[in-house]
Structure 1
Amino acid sequence: MIRRRTVAAWLGSGLLLAGCAPLDAVGRHDHAVGPRSTPDAPSITRASVTGNDLPRVSPTPQQIRRTGPDLSVPHRVDLLTAQGTDARSVALVKAALRRAGATDVRVSPLSGASRPAGPMAVVIGTVSAPHMADKLGRSNAFTSGTLPPEGYQITTSSLDGHIEVLLAGVDGDGVLYAAQTFTQLTADGRIAGATVVDHPAMPLRGVVEGFYGKPWTHEERLDQIAFHGSVKLNTYLYAPKDDPYERDRWRERYPRKLERELAELARHAADHHVRFTYVLSPGKSITYNDAGDRQALTGKLQSLYNLGIRDFALAFDDIHPLPVWNGAADFARYGPVSEQSAAAAQADLTNRMQREFVDQHRGMRPLQFVPTQYSDLADTPYKKTLRRALDDRVQVWWTGADVVPTSITTAQTRRAADVWGHDVLLWDNYPTNDYDHAAGRLLLAPYAKRTPRLGEHLSGVALNPMNQASASKIAEFTGADYAWNPRAYRPTDSWHSAAAHMTAHDPQGTHALLTFLDTQHMAPSWTGTPWQPAAPALKARLDAIERSWHTGRKHQAVTALRAQTRALAEAPAEIRRTVTDPGFVAETKPWLDALTLWAKALEHTGDGLEHRAKGEKGKATRSFTAAAELAREAAAVRTIPGATRPHGNVKVADGVLDTFIHRAAKTL
């Protein structure tokens, strides 16, 4: 069975603060986080989120509650750093305080003699750091008990008119996460009067660059890793299918230039508290029982270790239905190819690498393993052999009940843990768009239809993104929300937060981006059947317009259609103006261009309906003809050559916009 993590019970207590008036109610928490327990862990009691005027924090903390009025940020603030605080955490807190109005932020080490002269001090460090425990102990809001790794708490105390805000992490990761949450609690000259006790629901939360097609560039990977760290994702897996040195030429070392890039990625990941995991895929050509190939595999891992990489996975995916022996030594050792013999060979090789490489090197975590049968829940001879033969420490990746799962249920995760008999990680093929049914699509719906109890049976989740790196951030942001706190996750709320994040909280830009995201909401399954609907918001509005027309309210229908047309027409320019990531604007250009054409087609449709309502048949016909021509032009816009696999015509609210324009001309 899966080895579940035991967590000590904890419960935060309240604290009354002296401060100023509460924040306004824009972007606030207004939902509860329920209790959770597991069969072999003490019950964890979580207070509900209280005070719907608190700022919205992403990912949603396990416990956030108002414990007093907000605090005014004075001009002078002392920032005291304890053990476990890195430069990135300090920079985040300093920037947040300055945005809130502090003009003099003085940084100094926390010591027993620390006596800040200013009216406010922010103390940051690990809970076990010298002098931090004393400060936490004096705080009525201190949480007794033990938080899991990466956990943190934010509490505030007041003594003799001097205010201290304590940001305490279980470890260095927790310290950074406390700083990230603090930045979201600090705005408009105030710090929200809240207590936060938080930790992730799953140990591994990440993104796997595991798609086919043009791999991300080095610059895109650097940007992605920084983004992952900023939303509390802690893992990036390097597994681009079209990197020849990862798969087809796996025996070969990378050329010097690429080695330097990988080393930079590993350092960059460590700086952002992200685990850089290299996935090596030797399954297509390796001879498992050949000493030369085993030495080549060890040598490749060593060359990557020398670059600073400390986490590895061995992948045997996409060699269906079974591998072919590439040498007589495998037939001699394992006999004819079968599910059992293939699994035995893969387990032998993985176990040998675990014992002879991972166990012999410092700072490494156990290997991860991508099986050949990576989807479904059947207890096959292949899986039975792996369950018995694979080293217990090795974690196994699983894609769900299908290659592109339409949902993940609690029963499925429980079954996966039983079938594999190891710690199981979910390799979720969303929002990847490298398969035929996703041709011409950006998959920009929120992460959804995954059980809130996934962490009870699986050890983590990684999203496989799109060829378009920056556009993938919408799903990655919402996936980070989910992975941190599945029980509190609300897909639509998180989706709106992702849009606000991408536009630096510009209200018009956020609205425009959500309008565009809605046109890219449809997500196909592996067989093509949608598991997320096409343009649900737009469809609801167009359906309402049709109902108005059919019930005789034709003027109202045309007026509503004009308003919807304006929203679609204005969205591309607003997105280009407000989205802070230039990569997003560049990657989505064909879809934004097509949306402009669709909006013009919809405008002519509105003209046609208005003429029809007035009995102007000839004018109506001309308008509908112009709309049809623009619709054909919009549908012919192509994806960027070489940037998307598979290349094709872009799709914008297909089945909604095109259907409405056609139906308006024929039947309305």
Structure 2
Amino acid sequence: MNRTIRLCISCVFPMALILGGCDQGNPPKEVNVYPTPQEMDVSDKWIKIPEEGYRIESTETPDTDAMNLLKQSVPIAEQAQQAITIGKLDKATDEMQRSGAYTLTINSNGIHIGIYDDRSLFYAVQTFRQLILEGKKLPVCLIRDYPDIAFRGVVEGFYGTPWSFENRVEQLRFYGRMKMNTYIFGPKDDPYHRSPSWRIPYPEEQADNIRRLVIEARKNKVDFVWALHPGMDIRWNDADRQAAIQKLESMYGLGVRAFAVFFDDIEGEGTDAYKQAAFMNHLKKEFVDKKGDIQQLILCPTEYNKDWAKTDYLDILGKLLDPFIHIMWTGDKVVSDITCEGLQWVNRRIGRPCYVWWNFPVNDYCLAHLLMGPVHGLEKNTATDMHAFVSNPMEFAEASKVALWSISQFTWNMNGFNPEEAWYKACEALVPEAPDAFRLFCEHNADIGPNTWMFFRKESFNSDKLLTRFWQSLAAGTYLEKEAAEIINMFAQIRKAPETIRSSSANEQLIKEIGPWLTQTANVGEAGVEAMKMLELAQKKDTENCREAYRKTREALETTAVFSRPYRRGEQDGIRSGSQVLLPFIRNIVQHVENTLLTDEKPKEKAEVLAGSQAFDELSCFCEDDMVGLTPHFPLVTIAPGEYFGFRIEESKQPVALVYDLRKSKSKGRQFQGSIDGKVWFPLRQTGKDRLDTLRIHEPQTRYIRCLNKSQTEMSIGIGRFLVLTEPVAP
């Protein structure tokens, strides 16, 4: 799965010089370095690390952190015969004049490292550590390496439980290993970062933790960027300007030397572009310039994606903001692919390369899902169109590493980035004790589900074609025995993988984070095994045993629903696994058996659409084990006064709560209604949030749900989610 270049480096240096004294026995078959270097020439020869190790020869005092790392890798002794020489890059090309650029030459005469700065040496040593094979061998090689993007890393900017101190320490060490150099501290639920307490210094214990994190960041060559989020209640006056500077001053006292100010996800007075620009320029003049050692100053704007950029807001920022201040951007939407066209569009307006804030693998808008599949949607050849690239992760720090591994590859070497290869290697690196089981788990936990941003990722990508072929054949009347055997074996492996991961992996934090999804994945595997057994019996017309297998399959599906319910959070579902391919396939098999052999088991009533407007003629209804609703209809449609849309619930299910996410919809004149008989309607709640919310349903006999336009004017609505969470009707 590795695309590392393997060439004889005699094309770079004379063979005698490079290979003299090298062991030419059976060489290692493969050399892996991540992130993939820009240029890496490797011979088929290798050398043994001298038992006495190496002495260090350097024209300048080498970076302490890099040297500590090197000493952990090979013996270092003043009297050693062979040397590791460290020197400045000579006559470097433009790309080698970047922070972190380095060259690494390994041959029988010793090791030479060429560096641009301290980060260069640290990264060269990280590469060197990966080259050590079986603890005693090094490949003869020449590496010339540099980053494509100057600032690369992570923004902890999600809604939900912030990472713990221990999570953050491990993340910073991970960034150092993966050559990422930026960490932005901006969790939405940290009150001292955001309202109500952004003006107040951190309490002593939290302040001390930040001080320790800054030290850890420096050890790993990571800029610790602290973000202020004042826009929800800022008063554009001298008092708040001074309060902001005092807060930044307190963070400076903790060692922070890079800062950001977020004006995202706010309304009202705080969204004024002129005032934001003046505020930022004031911070630049009265704080940054006076300090003299501030590394970054970043603004997250209110209109931070193209979908929301409907005014001259960005143009104002572009004209008025000091060039030192960089502007963040999420893409065409809040959650979006990153493309050349999209970056160039915003860069023309802001007058500088944007600072990409990529909302992946963050899952605060789809909490039922883990986003652990390959990283797609990043267009190559975008390096010159961005100043920086940071990823917004999940609240699960360890689980986020699957995606962050790939993001480190993309931002370091775009042309060398392959999503599938990086994902494959990430799974192996994170759970080396059981990489195949972990890859299987991640493959079936990659779906985002229906969402307002129309951002989707493939799930079950290694089994989708098999399942589709089998189902299409079955629906046409042909049962494929060979494929059926493959599928039942596949589901058995899915059922087994979670326990293999739990019993094998030493990463306790990862297991804790993904624990519920491990259980749910096993539940789905069990349901798949039972469904395929049931189908086999149905093909044999064994009605009695098929009916017993049908009961077990329904129980297995109900187990997935019951397990999910306690994990529901607000408008979010509970725990979803295999939701894009596996569960729909299993439900199709159940319906096939109901329609062919066990016709008396077929539900007597199905959920159905209530389309009280021609605009919604194309609506369809879906029904799962613990929810009923309308399939998303993202395009905006207009409904007239008195028109509505909704659905009828199956009698076997009891509604618990209505979950809605209605794009561009305003609550004025809109009413959510319920009914027992479809004739007499009652309001579920008079008011709710404009776009998304969860409304409890207190009448258990409710069978009809709809959204009615009670106003006197037309109303535009897009349906991201409109569904009811359910429970089985009590016997």
1:449 and 2:377 equivalent? yes
Match 2:166 to one of 219, 240, 244: 219
- Alpha-carbon shift at residue 245 of structure 1 (Å): 0.8
Equivalent AA in structure 2 for residue 532 of structure 1: R
Higher alpha-carbon deviation: 252-261 or 165-174:
165-174
Note the 1:350-499 alignment, pairs <5 A: 350-376=280-306, 378=309, 380-405=311-336, 407-435=337-365, 438-499=366-427
Write the distance in 2 (CA, Å) between the matches of 1:423 and 1:84.
35
**Counterpart contact for 1:15–1:68, Cα < 8 Å:** no
The structure whose residues are more often strand, as a share, is 2
**Counterpart contact for 1:84–1:172, Cα < 8 Å:** no
Aligned to 1:175: 121
Aligned to 1:293: 240
Write the distance in 1 (CA, Å) between the matches of 2:94 and 2:343.
32
**Counterpart contact for 2:524–2:578, Cα < 8 Å:** no
Write the distance in 1 (CA, Å) between the matches of 2:41 and 2:579.
43
Match 2:549 to one of 597, 602, 623: 623
Equivalent AA in structure 2 for residue 151 of structure 1: A
Which structure exhibits the higher relative contact order, with contacts defined as CA atoms closer than 8 Å and separated by 6 or more residues?
1
* Same amino acid, percent of matched pairs: 26
**Counterpart contact for 1:397–1:426, Cα < 8 Å:** yes
Change (3 A) 1:548 1:524: closer
Equivalent AA in structure 1 for residue 439 of structure 2: L
Write the distance in 1 (CA, Å) between the matches of 2:344 and 2:127.
32
Aligned to 2:511: 585
**Counterpart contact for 2:328–2:354, Cα < 8 Å:** yes
Equivalent AA in structure 2 for residue 152 of structure 1: Y
Q: Secondary structure at the match of 1:77?
A: coil
1:267 and 2:215 equivalent? yes
Match 1:235 to one of 182, 198, 219: 182
Aligned to 1:80: 56
Write the distance in 2 (CA, Å) between the matches of 1:581 and 1:425.
33
**Counterpart contact for 1:502–1:580, Cα < 8 Å:** no
Note the 1:512-527 alignment, pairs <5 A: 512-524=437-449, 526-527=451-452
| Structure 1 length-normalised TM | 0.81
Equivalent AA in structure 1 for residue 132 of structure 2: T
Aligned to 2:205: 257
- Alpha-carbon shift at residue 526 of structure 1 (Å): 5.0
Q: How many residues align?
A: 574
1:281 and 2:229 equivalent? yes
Match 1:57 to one of 12, 22, 33: 33
Change (3 A) 1:626 1:263: same
1:180-226 per-position Cα deviation (integer Å, ceiling 9, x unaligned):
11122221242122211000000010100001111111111111111
RMSD: 2.6
Equivalent AA in structure 2 for residue 180 of structure 1: Q
Instruction: Structure 2: give runs of 5+ residues left out of the alignment.
Output: 1-10, 594-731
Match 2:522 to one of 587, 596, 600: 596
Match 2:103 to one of 142, 153, 166: 153
Change (3 A) 1:352 1:145: closer
Aligned to 2:12: 13
- Alpha-carbon shift at residue 14 of structure 1 (Å): 4.0
Write the distance in 1 (CA, Å) between the matches of 2:154 and 2:310.
27
**Counterpart contact for 1:126–1:171, Cα < 8 Å:** no
Aligned to 1:335: none
1:217-268 per-position Cα deviation (integer Å, ceiling 9, x unaligned):
1111111111111111100000011111111111101111111011111111
Equivalent AA in structure 2 for residue 75 of structure 1: E
Q: Secondary structure at the match of 2:486?
A: helix
Write the distance in 2 (CA, Å) between the matches of 1:272 and 1:544.
49
**Counterpart contact for 2:96–2:146, Cα < 8 Å:** no
Equivalent AA in structure 2 for residue 608 of structure 1: M
Note the 1:627-666 alignment, pairs <5 A: 627-638=553-564, 648-666=573-591
Q: Secondary structure at the match of 1:69?
A: strand
**Counterpart contact for 2:447–2:458, Cα < 8 Å:** yes
- Alpha-carbon shift at residue 612 of structure 1 (Å): 3.1
Match 2:67 to one of 53, 71, 90: 90
Aligned to 1:38: none
Higher alpha-carbon deviation: 79-88 or 621-630:
79-88
**Counterpart contact for 1:433–1:645, Cα < 8 Å:** no
Higher alpha-carbon deviation: 549-558 or 356-365:
549-558
Higher alpha-carbon deviation: 88-97 or 276-285:
88-97
**Counterpart contact for 1:153–1:169, Cα < 8 Å:** yes
Equivalent AA in structure 2 for residue 13 of structure 1: V
1:106 and 2:51 equivalent? no
Change (3 A) 1:302 1:665: same
Match 2:80 to one of 103, 111, 116: 116
1:210 and 2:157 equivalent? yes
Write the distance in 1 (CA, Å) between the matches of 2:94 and 2:579.
54
Change (3 A) 1:434 1:23: farther
Change (3 A) 1:15 1:361: farther
| Structure 2 length-normalised TM | 0.74
- Alpha-carbon shift at residue 460 of structure 1 (Å): 1.2
**Counterpart contact for 2:27–2:44, Cα < 8 Å:** no
Q: Secondary structure at the match of 1:637?
A: helix
Note the 1:319-338 alignment, pairs <5 A: 319-320=266-267, 323-324=268-269
Larger Rg: 2
Change (3 A) 1:144 1:227: closer
**Counterpart contact for 1:207–1:464, Cα < 8 Å:** yes
- Alpha-carbon shift at residue 573 of structure 1 (Å): 2.0
Aligned to 2:496: 570
Q: Secondary structure at the match of 1:75?
A: coil
Instruction: Structure 1: give runs of 5+ residues left out of the alignment.
Output: 1-11, 26-52, 98-104, 109-114, 326-338
Write the distance in 1 (CA, Å) between the matches of 2:25 and 2:332.
47
Q: Secondary structure at the match of 2:563?
A: coil
Write the distance in 1 (CA, Å) between the matches of 2:507 and 2:14.
40
Equivalent AA in structure 1 for residue 179 of structure 2: K
1:287-307 per-position Cα deviation (integer Å, ceiling 9, x unaligned):
22x221111111111100000
Write the distance in 2 (CA, Å) between the matches of 1:552 and 1:432.
42
Q: Secondary structure at the match of 1:532?
A: coil
1:106-127 per-position Cα deviation (integer Å, ceiling 9, x unaligned):
344xxxxxx733xx4434x452
Write the distance in 1 (CA, Å) between the matches of 2:178 and 2:184.
16
1:200 and 2:130 equivalent? no
**Counterpart contact for 1:231–1:480, Cα < 8 Å:** yes
1:539 and 2:464 equivalent? yes
